[in-house]
Amino acid sequence: MPPSSDTSVSTAASDQVDVRGPRFNAWVTTAVLVVVLLVSTFSTVAAGVILLLQAVSFAIGAAAGPKRSPYGRLFAAAVAPRLGPVTEREPVAPLRFAQLVGFVFAAIGVVGFATGLAAVGVVATAFALFAAILNAAFAICLGCKLYPLVARLRTA
């Protein structure tokens, strides 16, 4: 039996992440989006700025992957070392797509707050919050669930 190649093992590992990282990301995102909604009751400008920062985090996660996102780096530096060994991993591609979906909702929310359409900002933020809570509390990633459909459409 031939030995396994180190490059194939490391490549496979780089396409997977510890499932606890995205859940941590979802909890932090939930907190940020709750703050956006609370702040929007007295300042749509401040809510828009906070949501813009969250949109940047989503964009980094979508473009560079969950390990390189701000919350992914925080998880790796401050949380993961305090946890036990990784027992479950998940693929990166659906997580990146989920971050892209989050970015779209956050961007719509930022535009809503910036243009004086606070209701658009609140509704877009609420949709993103709903998805983040599902992921954080119940490990249901809506973007990840949509990913196989989108991947099939891309190849068609």
- Which H/E stretch holds residue 18? strand 16-18
> How confident is the model at residue 45, as a pLDDT?
98
Taking the CA atoms of residue 111, residue 115, residue 119 and residue 122 in that order, the dihedral angle to the nearest 10 degrees is: 40
> How confident is the model at residue 13, as a pLDDT?
60
Per the listing, tokens 């954080």 go with: 136
> How confident is the model at residue 75, as a pLDDT?
97
> How confident is the model at residue 149, as a pLDDT?
93
Residue by residue, pLDDT tens for the chain (156 residues) are 444 444 444 445 669 999 999 999 999 999 999 999 999 999 999 999 999 999 999 999 999 999 999 999 999 999 999 999 999 999 999 999 999 999 999 999 999 999 999 999 999 999 999 999 999 999 999 999 999 999 899 887
What is the 3-state secondary structure of 55-108? HHHHHHHHHHCCCCCHHHHHHHHHHHHHCCCCCCEEEHHHHHHHHHHHHHHHHH
Report how far residue 99's alpha carbon sits from residue 22's, in angstroms, rounded to the nearest whole number.
Answer: 10
Report how far residue 107's alpha carbon sits from residue 125's, in angstroms, rounded to the nearest whole number.
Answer: 9
What DSSP state is assigned to residue 45?
H
